[in-house]
Chains A and B, each alone.
Chain A
């Protein structure tokens, strides 16, 4: 609990607490010296003794506040607790303060002065108590709020991770079974090619189902898997599938979220190749910008085909990017009469350092 104490949290906060009390001492001293006409020595001693004492009590008040959170206790109890602790503090403060001050200043006039100013001291004790408690409560609520925000963030991360795993394990059954059918056909016509395709399909599946916690991968690795996927589709559809990648070596070393590109190519094949009788070109380009990687994927499609539903895959990607990079403009799509363009903007730095 002492670690939690806002005053001891850093030298800065401790310094601030000290400065505030020095200011209070200054005011105290000024009132005694200026209004009551006490000597400098008396004004200084009185101010020092009473304020130092209260500064100590002030520190302990944190525990009183932590003990009586209005959210946990009912309001009546809170008020009752504070009145009690206020009464105790006033009692100890004035008696202990007077005792110490009197033992330093052996002077009858000062004795009378002390007795005369007790009502004023009580009022200032109440005033200081209120301010300190108020500030403590504010700090506590601020911390609560931050905790809650942090928890929410963590919760969101867990959800994203869950979604990612779901995405990873979601192999399109249509793709899988049709590929197996192609292999079945190739075994008699071209055994070597069949073997090659089995290896490609296996590598693709391995990458897709790999359950390691890896959340980022090099662009080059992700592209390697995409190429595997496209080559399998090429065995199925022949010349109808054409693809081209223009990536510099430097681009390929940049980190991107794992499996962020794959759904885009599946979309291109689904809406381009599956729905068209003409050749579909899938072109990928990558440009290094100052603070982000600009990836452009273009494919032509049959403008007559009316297939809808590219939405969910794209939305998933947009959501994932937003959660990882804290920015919601990282995916842009453009659809012309017969071309679909997806642009990704992958920042070099992750939005939340924690990731």
Chain B
């Protein structure tokens, strides 16, 4: 009989204990760890590389979705949420099973049985997980922090701390006061998911936090330079200048 190693990640002890309780009926599912927040969750997943993760969505530090973005293995994920229409939409669209709290034993067992069935079909979980991330990116919900992996360490950057974003091939370079981080996302993503009254696409390669702008200087005939408070100098395109004009009303 194939064995499945499982992780339970939920910030509420009773919720974790319920899953433990329901899993007792399945000898092939072995719980190898538990985490009470997203930070620990990411660390445990990357360390133990489980087959299955029971993942709650609303958690302190990192949400279940942010956890998904930061892990580098491809476990089968069973999401659970109490009330999050926006998450539920993402699941339904991708035909992903999820548990709506509170759930019955039957409902839980159906979800677990599905794992066994789909495992036989050798589905690539990485692809499914990737689809969820992409699907969430399609929504227009604004983000208020960016979670980035820097080696073993996870850095959570509140969007207010960003001074500007710079495109870098398939990545975006996130510049904060004195530091920079790489995030695997597109400029388009940040353009649509950051508050557009605060973050302006001033150039093909730059999105700037207007609160960090010190002054604008004429550069060539049609273009300007934005000088930030930290003395960074960013090119401003003609379109970018127009957008800035609209937002700063000069």
**Co-assembled chains A and B:** yes
Q: For A305, what are the chain B residues with a Cβ–Cβ distance below 8 Å?
A: 60-61
Kindly state the separation between the CA atoms of A34 and B217 in the bound complex, as whole angstroms: 88
Interface string of B94-115 (1 = CB under 8 A from A): 0000001111000000000000
Q: For B14, what are the chain A residues with a Cβ–Cβ distance below 8 Å?
A: 181-182, 185-186, 189, 235-236
Residue from B15, B21, B60, B83 in contact with A275 in the complex, judged by beta carbons closer than 8 Å? B60
Q: Are A306 and B18 in contact (CB under 8 A)?
A: no
Q: For B39, what are the chain A residues with a Cβ–Cβ distance below 8 Å?
A: 277
Q: Does A21 have its Cβ within 8 Å of any Cβ on chain B?
A: no
Residue in chain A with minimal CB distance to B156: A304
Q: For A238, what are the chain B residues with a Cβ–Cβ distance below 8 Å?
A: 13
Q: Does A124 have its Cβ within 8 Å of any Cβ on chain B?
A: no
Q: Does A173 have its Cβ within 8 Å of any Cβ on chain B?
A: yes
Q: Are B61 and A277 in contact (CB under 8 A)?
A: yes
Q: Does A276 have its Cβ within 8 Å of any Cβ on chain B?
A: yes
Q: Are B82 and A174 in contact (CB under 8 A)?
A: yes
Q: Are B21 and A188 in contact (CB under 8 A)?
A: yes
Q: Does B58 have its Cβ within 8 Å of any Cβ on chain A?
A: yes
Q: Are B58 and A307 in contact (CB under 8 A)?
A: no
Q: Are B17 and A189 in contact (CB under 8 A)?
A: yes
Residue from A178, A181, A306 in contact with B145 in the complex, judged by beta carbons closer than 8 Å? A306
Interface size on A, residues (CB 8 A): 28
Quote the shortest CB–CB distance from A43 to chain B (angstroms). 76
Q: For B213, what are the chain A residues with a Cβ–Cβ distance below 8 Å?
A: none
Residue in chain B with minimal CB distance to A233: B12
| Given contacts A173-B82, A177-B102, A306 and B60 within 8 Å (CB-CB) | no
Q: Does B11 have its Cβ within 8 Å of any Cβ on chain A?
A: yes
Kindly state the separation between the CA atoms of A118 and B218 in the bound complex, as whole angstroms: 87
Q: Are A185 and B21 in contact (CB under 8 A)?
A: yes
Interface string of A151-192 (1 = CB under 8 A from B): 000000000000000000000011011101111111011000
Residue in chain A with minimal CB distance to B39: A277
Q: For B13, what are the chain A residues with a Cβ–Cβ distance below 8 Å?
A: 237-238
Q: For A181, what are the chain B residues with a Cβ–Cβ distance below 8 Å?
A: 12, 14-15, 18, 82, 101-103
Quote the shortest CB–CB distance from B63 to chain A (angstroms). 11
Majority SS of interface residues in chain A?
helix
Quote the shortest CB–CB distance from A78 to chain B (angstroms). 49
Q: Are B60 and A177 in contact (CB under 8 A)?
A: no
Q: For B37, what are the chain A residues with a Cβ–Cβ distance below 8 Å?
A: 277
Residue from A178, A189, A235, A307 in contact with B144 in the complex, judged by beta carbons closer than 8 Å? A307
- Enumerate A111-157 residues with CB–CB distance to B below 8 Å: none
Q: Are A174 and B102 in contact (CB under 8 A)?
A: no
Q: Does A308 have its Cβ within 8 Å of any Cβ on chain B?
A: yes
Q: Does A274 have its Cβ within 8 Å of any Cβ on chain B?
A: yes
Residue in chain B with minimal CB distance to A236: B12
Q: Does A46 have its Cβ within 8 Å of any Cβ on chain B?
A: no
Q: Are B60 and A178 in contact (CB under 8 A)?
A: no
Listed residue (B18, B36, B39, B103) with the most chain A CB atoms within 10 angstroms of its CB: B18
Q: Does A222 have its Cβ within 8 Å of any Cβ on chain B?
A: no
Residue from A184, A186, A274 in contact with B60 in the complex, judged by beta carbons closer than 8 Å? A274
Q: For B15, what are the chain A residues with a Cβ–Cβ distance below 8 Å?
A: 178, 181-182, 185, 236
Q: Does B170 have its Cβ within 8 Å of any Cβ on chain A?
A: no
Q: Are B60 and A302 in contact (CB under 8 A)?
A: yes
Q: For B36, what are the chain A residues with a Cβ–Cβ distance below 8 Å?
A: 277
Q: Write the residues of chain B forming the contact surface with A, with a CB cutoff of 8 angstroms.
A: 11-15, 17-18, 21, 36-37, 39, 58, 60-61, 82-84, 100-103, 144-145, 156, 158-160
A-B contact pairs, 24 of them (CB 8 A): A174-B82, A177-B83, A178-B15, A178-B82, A178-B101, A180-B101, A181-B12, A181-B101, A182-B12, A184-B18, A185-B21, A189-B14, A189-B17, A235-B14, A236-B14, A274-B11, A274-B58, A274-B60, A275-B60, A276-B60, A277-B36, A304-B61, A304-B158, A305-B61
20 additional A-B pairs beyond A178-B12, A181-B14, A305-B60, beta carbons within 8 Å, are: A173-B82, A174-B83, A176-B83, A178-B82, A178-B101, A181-B103, A184-B103, A185-B15, A185-B21, A186-B14, A238-B13, A274-B11, A275-B60, A277-B36, A277-B39, A277-B61, A306-B144, A306-B145, A306-B160, A307-B144
